[in-house]
């Protein structure tokens, strides 16, 4: 029976929900510090427009921090209209793209920021996160390496690079990065989660569960912590504990994509086809762009002898990621 975790990319989107990429506000503030000093020398942009551009950019930062991505994007676009050379505004738009899973759009905006300032770490790091979302893990590592050369103390970037290494199967490199993160910031739950995922890939389930236990103790209201621990319990054969964690995640957030996906796979492995189909379909309603979920649902349709639906889901997998099935079997 096909498994959702045969390759990291099969559950990449679910884990992306959990992985804390950065704190938006201080990242964009970093970009502002880097570029505001250059504004006075920009030809063809009046001082009044410069000030208004900066004001819109700061307003965008505030809206982004509040989770109002549409209003934030509107502010950043107005900022760019007034000053097309304000790299921080493009970084802000890139952040909006990351938070709304428009990874292609995010990458494009981070690249525009880098065209203005090739040394802007915030844009380099953001593009790396865009590559993570697009499952371009080698490219993500390259950008994270550049960011870490500038500032080796960025544990969030180190954690993201560790996650990319996990997805590339470079477990030793991943463990080195994630151990360093935990040592540097022992109260940051996402670092324990990423290391727990690494233990899961290495089939060191007890260690993985211990790391997720720690993450939950630090952040008990994050549904993804329970979804990930549930997945590890499932792979360890602790079925009751797995189901309890999936249910807990959905109790906290009834729209938790990963919990529906993982519970759907859980039911699939037990041969409970109707329940599996219901959960996987709900997961796709929340996130219709995850090839792994279509792949898992195709397996359910096959068991139910629904040939047309089975083929439609496989076609969707190929549409979203042409190399997926060749690497997932």
Q: Which pLDDT tens digits describe the chain residue by residue (329 residues)? A: 333 332 233 333 334 433 444 444 444 444 443 444 344 344 455 677 888 999 999 999 999 989 999 999 999 999 999 999 999 999 999 999 999 889 999 999 999 999 999 989 999 999 999 999 888 999 999 999 999 999 898 999 999 999 999 999 999 999 999 999 999 999 999 999 999 999 999 999 999 999 999 999 999 999 999 999 999 999 999 999 999 999 999 999 999 999 999 999 999 999 999 999 999 999 999 999 899 999 999 999 999 999 999 999 999 999 988 878 754 43
C-alpha closest to that of 149 among 138, 161, 137: 161
d(CA 218, CA 228): 15
Residue 105 has what pLDDT? 95
Question: Distance of alpha carbon 140 from its chain centroid, rounded?
Answer: 12
Q: What is the DSSP letter of 44?
A: T
Check residue 158 and give its pLDDT.
Answer: 95
End-to-end CA distance of the chain: 10
Give the CA count within 13 Å in the CB-facing half-sphere of 328.
25
SS3 content of the chain, % helix, strand, coil (to 5): 80, 0, 20
Check: CATH 1.10.287.3510 for 188-329? no
**322 CA to centre of own chain:** 21
Whether the domain at 21-151 and the domain at 188-329 fall into the same CATH topology = yes
Looking at residue 264, what DSSP letter applies?
Answer: H
Cα separations (Å) of 274 from 29, 280, 283?
49, 10, 14
DSSP letter (8 states) at residue 8:
G
Instruction: For domain 21-151, say whether CATH 1.10.3470.10 is its number.
Output: no
What is d(CA 56, CA 44) in angstroms, rounded to the nearest whole number? 19
- Give the span between the Cα atoms of 229 and 240, in whole angstroms: 12
**What's the chain's length in residues?**
329
- Parse the chain into domains and list their residue ranges: 21-151, 188-329
């Amino acid at each position: 029976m096909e498994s959702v975790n045969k390759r990291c990319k099969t559950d990449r989107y679910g884990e992306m929900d959990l992985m804390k990429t950065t704190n938006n506000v201080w990242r964009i503030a970093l970009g502002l510090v880097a570029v505001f000093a250059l504004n006075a020398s920009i030809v063809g942009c009046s001082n009044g427009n410069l000030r208004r551009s900066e004001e819109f950019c700061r307003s965008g930062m505030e809206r982004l921090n509040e989770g109002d991505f549409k209003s934030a994007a509107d502010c950043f676009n107005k900022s760019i209209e007034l000053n097309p050379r304000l790299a921080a505004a493009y970084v802000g738009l890139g952040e909006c793209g990351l938070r709304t899973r428009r990874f292609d759009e995010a990458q494009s905006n981070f690249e525009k920021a880098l065209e203005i300032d090739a040394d802007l770490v915030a844009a380099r790091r953001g593009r790396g996160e865009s590559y993570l979302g697009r499952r371009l893990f080698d490219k993500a590592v390259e950008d994270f390496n550049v960011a870490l050369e500038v500032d080796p103390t960025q544990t969030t970037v180190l954690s993201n690079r560790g996650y990319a290494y996990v997805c590339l199967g470079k477990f030793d490199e991943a463990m080195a990065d994630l151990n360093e993160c935990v040592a540097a910031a022992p109260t940051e739950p996402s670092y324990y989660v990423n290391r727990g995922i690494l233990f899961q890939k290495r089939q060191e389930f007890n260690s993985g569960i211990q790391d997720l236990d720690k993450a939950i103790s630090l952040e008990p209201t994050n549904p993804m912590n329970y979804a990930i621990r549930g997945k590890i319990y499932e792979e360890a054969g602790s079925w009751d504990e797995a189901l309890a964690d999936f249910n807990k995640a959905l109790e906290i957030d009834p729209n938790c994509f990963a919990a529906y996906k993982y519970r759907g796979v859980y039911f699939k492995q037990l041969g409970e086809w109707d329940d599996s189909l219901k959960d996987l379909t709900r997961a796709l309603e929340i996130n219709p762009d995850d090839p792994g979920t279509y792949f898992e649902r195709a397996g359910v349709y096959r068991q139910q002898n629904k040939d047309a639906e089975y083929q439609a889901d496989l076609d969707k997998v190929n549409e979203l990621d042409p190399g997926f099935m060749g690497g997932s079997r």
